[in-house]
């Protein structure tokens, strides 16, 4: 297939490439990790649609040629709308309602268009810690002196493990895993979810942390609190103190992971634009760790190896 005749669209952090065809469809091309990026991606979308959540529908699959065609949702992301809309709270409240629907999903065993069975994985301790360790694998060696790297890794890994042990909510729910406003499209006056292939069953606070402490879109403390309280009102059966505890832990671990991922994208994949968001990721982490004694140990270690000046560095 000659993709040069189609318009290449702005992509995401995956190995997928997106092209707009002349048939009101989007071509999703992925040669690397194509089972995840094409087959599982569509299976998760189907699961969302089945449960009343808008997601892109499959039009045709050309898996052997490394691509699928999905419906064209246009170019209007919720991120773009928020940037020019003063009534942000209403938009975020709609996102919270979608999150409520997501967390009602019970299907765990799916079938892809290749007729393969796929079981949605659990978000285990090993997985969460491995992801947080991306911060140590990619970011730390880029900014810390070589002589200090091994000690820093050992010390911070202990803090990660201790934080995970302090999570309190045991019930597992469907987790989109990248639930933020850049992964929501506004199409035909409805919100559609995209980039859903990494869904898991995990902590109820994870997607909430992704939405509220989103490194891609800066929000005020007041707005963050309003969104959190809206979620609490819609989920009155969840212990609020435990929810807040897990929300803050997962936000910190997630944003450390994101710093690692953004560094990897810059170093390995030459996608340097992501490095511009690292200072704000640090600000989110600092706000959460400075207000809760549960982070005292981690905060001391981060301050030891990562100066304020370093965190504010404008990467290119």
Give the Cα separation of 18 and 70 in Å (integer).
10
The list of the chain residues with pLDDT below 50 reads: none
Burial of 237 (0-12, 13-18, 19+ CB in 10 A): exposed
The most distant pair of C-alpha atoms in the chain lies apart, rounded to whole Å, by: 57
CATH 3.30.720 fits 3-71, yes or no: no
Closest CA to 56 of 101, 98, 31, 26: 26
Instruction: Write down the pLDDT at residue 312.
Output: 86
The reply to whether the predicted model has a pTM over 0.85 is: yes
CATH number of 78-311: 3.90.1200.10
Q: Where are the domains of the chain?
A: 3-71, 78-311
Give the Cα separation of 24 and 207 in Å (integer).
31
**DSSP assigned state of 304:** H
Give the Cα separation of 103 and 143 in Å (integer).
38
Q: For the segment 120-152, what is each residue's pLDDT rounded down to a tens digit?
A: 999 999 999 999 999 999 999 999 999 999 999
Instruction: Write down the pLDDT at residue 315.
Output: 61
């Amino acid at each position: 297939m000659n993709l040069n005749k189609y318009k290449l669209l702005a992509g995401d952090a995956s190995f997928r490439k997106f092209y707009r065809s002349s048939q009101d469809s989007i071509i999703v091309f992925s040669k690397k990790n194509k089972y995840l990026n094409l087959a599982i991606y569509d299976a998760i979308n189907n699961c969302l649609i089945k449960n009343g959540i808008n997601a892109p529908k499959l039009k045709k699959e050309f898996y052997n040629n490394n691509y699928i065609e999905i419906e064209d949702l246009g170019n209007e992301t919720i991120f773009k709308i928020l940037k020019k809309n003063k009534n942000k709270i209403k938009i975020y409240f709609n996102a919270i309602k979608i999150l409520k629907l997501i967390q009602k999903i019970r299907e765990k065993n799916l079938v892809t268009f290749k007729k393969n069975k796929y079981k949605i994985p659990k978000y285990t301790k090993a997985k969460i810690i491995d992801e947080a360790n991306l911060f140590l694998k990619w970011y730390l060696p880029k900014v810390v002196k070589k002589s200090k790297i091994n000690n820093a890794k050992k010390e911070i890994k202990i803090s990660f493990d201790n934080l995970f042990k302090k999570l309190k909510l045991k019930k597992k729910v469907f987790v989109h895993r990248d639930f933020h406003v850049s992964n929501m499209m506004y199409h035909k006056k409805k919100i559609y979810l995209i980039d859903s292939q990494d869904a898991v069953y995990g902590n109820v606070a994870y997607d909430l942390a992704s939405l509220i402490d989103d490194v891609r879109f800066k929000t005020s403390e007041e707005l963050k609190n309003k969104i959190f309280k809206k979620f609490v009102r819609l989920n009155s059966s969840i212990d609020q103190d435990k929810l807040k505890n897990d929300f803050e832990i997962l936000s910190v671990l997630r944003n450390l992971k994101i710093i690692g991922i953004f560094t990897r994208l810059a170093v390995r994949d030459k996608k340097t634009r992501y490095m511009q968001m690292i200072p704000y990721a640090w600000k989110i982490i600092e706000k959460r760790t400075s207000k809760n004694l549960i982070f005292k140990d981690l905060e001391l270690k981060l301050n030891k190896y990562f100066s304020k000046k370093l965190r504010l560095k404008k990467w290119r």
